[in-house]
Amino acid sequence: MISRRQVVCLVGASALAAPLKSFAQQQPAKPVRIGFLIPAYASSYASRVEALRAGLRDLGYVEGKNFVIEFRVADGKYDRLP
């Protein structure tokens, strides 16, 4: 037979363990947004952009899942840059 003390301990332990389960579940994070300002033509920066992507891949990041790159190109018109 289970004693009253054991029932109280079981209920108390269950009440403490329930919130811990919710902390263990990871919430999906929004991808980090990286801004890339290009003052010249986009084609002149292609190798740099690919190097950035490769470096982030090497660190374990996945484009579209962990990060998103947003490009703004001035095409040589510097007044278009913030």
Is 80 exceeded by the pLDDT of residue 59? yes
Residue percentage of the chain with pLDDT more than 70: 66
Per-residue pLDDT band for 8 (boundaries 50, 70, 90) equals low
pLDDT of residue 71: 87
What burial letters (b/e) apply to 35-57, b meaning 16+ CB within 10 Å?
eeebeeeeeebeeeeeeeeeebe
Q: Report whether pLDDT(30) > 80.
A: yes
| pLDDT score of 39 | 86
The total of structural domains in the chain comes to 1
* Structural domain that includes position 43: 4-80
Mean pLDDT of 44-64: 91
Total count of residues recorded for the chain: 82
